[in-house]
Amino acid sequence: MNDMKRYTTLFLGVIMLMHVSCKKELLDQTPTGLLDASVFWKTEADATIALMSAYASARAVFDRDYYFEGQSEYTRVRGTSATSGSILRGDAYQGGNYDPSGYGASFDKYFQYLYGSVHRANYVIENITLKMLPNASGASLANLETIIAEARLLRGMTYFRLISMWGDVPYIGKIIYDNSEVTQLTRLPIGQVKDSIMADFDYAVAKLPAKAVGVGRAAKPAALAFRGKLNLYWGSWKKNGWPELEGFQQNSGEAQTAFAASAADFKSVMNDFGLTLYKNGDPGQIDALGKADILPNYFELFTPKANGNPEVIMAFNHSGTPTNPSQGEELMRDFSGRTIEGSQAWASPRYEIADRYQLTTTGEFAPKLIPLNPTTNAAARTTLNSAVNPNSYANRDYRMKASILWDYEMCIGLTALKSTGFSPFIYRTWAANVTIGGVKYISYNTDGSNSGYIFRKFVRNYEGLGRSEGDFAWPVMRLADVFLMYAEASNEVSGPLADAVAGLNKIRARGNLPALKADKFASKQAFFDAIEQERIIELVAEGHRGFDLRRWRAIEKTWGPPGGVGVWRIDTWGAQQQRYYQNTIDRVYQQNYIFRIPPTERDRNPNLTQNIPWR
């Protein structure tokens, strides 16, 4: 068992004694019942156990980020599998709204859990700093400083998420022993909070080792990547503005400075640590249409086979059965249908994502798919470019087959931890007896897809673990994302650079796509469009797209201006499913750019002001 899993499991034995629950309200964070310093905070093992509690708390607010993908245009999230009341099973995300609009008032619980994560990190940082560092020296001092650096990275990541959603937030940088300590807190301007986050990241960059001590532990590349990401977001906000955040000012000079610093950090991650894409970016092999014995390497990247791979710069570990079923991930349950261990497909691709997958033959977009109803159109299955004709998906980016299923694509069925053999996905033909090529099958069964597609990404294709017992280390920072963020940041400063174009081409190569043609990086805007395209495909369902749309001020570009007719989401048969942003007023757009400060926190602390669109 790796270090992260061992210590996380050990922590569960003392969590009730430590009693620093991340379920508490922001203003109810009193850490009563903490372990007595006379018996704890004596050894590096004590410090590591406490650190693992901070990792567990941070994991609870980052490892279901795929739900946030529903706030964009290419993934539908119809709910969550998170169980209310469970610290380790996604409770932070429970009750959130993951539609493309109207979500900003639905994350009061998430807000509280984020501060729970901050509290755990503060507990580690303060106790080691005050009770252990004064008596430490040599290797022990260095090791303790590394533990502090990991805790400060987690705290910085958590505050980064807070400002990304709420802008100005209260800043708590120490252990809270009594509610009276926080009842007078005010929201600090985002710039001040950003500076504190940057200080945490700077410390982590200085003190973390070049290579992590174990899977799931952070190292210097992670700190550099998150520092770069913070500057990238800051640059985006300063360039594009954030009018919904009171007092925030655009500043092109500050934006350029942030973009330059961002690019420098990303470049270091790319060049200084020997990191590589999974299997060196080799696309691997791909099976014929309608078969799935051989899947591309991109598929493996999102299974436990990739745990510990250098592409995954930082991840949060999960340990399923038999190690610790309470800490299993539920990706199978959330991304697959009933055919696979009775899963529920809370997240599924929208119809529109299919047209974003380019052709391996040209590197360009294929002709748009034509939605046709096979029950009323006898030629629907054979018409060229029909969305229900399997041959319309030939010669596509390998990541398409690795990520989604379309009609007559196969996946492995699983029941009671055993394989039930291949099952063909046929939209609206659920759990039916079908014969294909003379072979009898039972078709894929799901109540989660209303687009004509279902995800393959994140879904295990081997037996032995149930839908809630996965042991995949959820990636919160990948090298591919660093390539893309470096390209974006450097493009803002200098326009398309050769190494940035090379990075995009490495990512495209894993989909067996040809290199970008010259016109795709002939200008700053053309290259940004190419970067956005790769972010959509490479990072689909990982939780980035909604945050990108907000920092780019691109909601109107995606859904149309206020007062417009709205945009329908359809399925492969041409049926209209959901309509978003119809006759939507300015205020709703504003509320989608910034989240509501929880009213319960404002009731308990009148000093907490409310964001402009929510007043």
Overall fold of domain 3-242: 1.25.40
Give residue 237's pLDDT. 98
State how far the alpha carbon of 499 is from the alpha carbons of 491, 494, 495, 525, 581, in Å: 11, 12, 12, 17, 39
Backbone phi and psi for residue 358, each to the nearest 5 degrees, phi listed first: -85, 175
How many residues are given for the chain?
615
Residues 406, 354: contact at Cβ < 8 Å?
yes
Give bridge partners of residue 415 from the DSSP assignment. Answer: 418
Backbone phi and psi for residue 60, each to the nearest 5 degrees, phi listed first: -65, -15
* Cα dihedral value 429, 430, 434, 436, nearest 10: 70
Output the six-digit token pair for 383: 């018409």
Provide the H-helix boundaries in 272-362.
297-300, 331-335
| Cβ-count burial 495-518 (b if 16+ within 10 Å, e if not) | bbbeebbebbbbbbbbbbbeebee
**DSSP one-letter code for 288:** P
Residue 481 CA to residue 534 CA, distance in Å, equals: 10
Residue 555 CA to residue 549 CA, distance in Å, equals: 6
Residue 77 CA to residue 96 CA, distance in Å, equals: 11
| Nearest alpha-carbon partner for 205 in 224, 188, 233, 191 | 224
Give residue 263's pLDDT. 98
Number of neighbouring beta carbons within 10 Å of residue 148: 25
pTM of the entire predicted model: 0.94
Give residue 291's pLDDT. 98
Give bridge partners of residue 477 from the DSSP assignment. Answer: 314
Give residue 36's pLDDT. 64
Q: What residues does each domain of the chain span? A: 3-242, 326-476
Identify the sign of the CA torsion 327, 306, 1, 332: positive
For residue range 309-338, list pLDDT tens digits in order.
Answer: 999 999 999 987 766 767 889 999 999 999
Give residue 3's pLDDT. 34
* Cα dihedral value 192, 118, 98, 224, nearest 10: 70
Provide the H-helix boundaries in 167-278.
190-207, 220-240, 252-271
**Per-residue DSSP letters for 213-239?**
SSTT---HHHHHHHHHHHHHHHHHHHH
Residues 138, 129: contact at Cβ < 8 Å?
no
Give residue 319's pLDDT. 85
Vertex 496, ends 262 and 503: CA angle to 5°? 70
Residue 530 CA to residue 503 CA, distance in Å, equals: 12
Classify burial at 200, counting beta carbons within 10 Å of its beta carbon; exposed 0-12, middle 13-18, buried 19 or more.
Answer: buried
Provide the H-helix boundaries in 41-178.
44-59, 108-131, 138-166
Residues with Cβ < 8 Å from 98, sequence gap 6 or more? 67, 68, 69, 70, 71, 77, 80
- For the chain (615 residues), the mean pLDDT of every run of 10, in chain order, is 31 31 41 61 96 96 97 96 62 95 97 96 98 96 98 98 98 90 92 98 98 93 99 98 98 98 98 98 98 98 95 93 77 96 97 98 98 98 97 98 98 96 98 97 96 98 92 96 99 98 98 98 98 98 98 98 97 98 98 97 94 98
Residue 569 CA to residue 62 CA, distance in Å, equals: 28
Give residue 184's pLDDT. 86
State how far the alpha carbon of 517 is from the alpha carbons of 274, 336, 362, in Å: 28, 36, 10
State how far the alpha carbon of 560 is from the alpha carbons of 356, 369, 586, 589, in Å: 19, 22, 12, 11
Give residue 12's pLDDT. 27
For residue range 64-90, list pLDDT tens digits in order.
Answer: 999 999 999 999 999 998 765 555 566
State how far the alpha carbon of 503 is from the alpha carbons of 231, 263, 269, 314, 377, in Å: 20, 13, 12, 19, 44
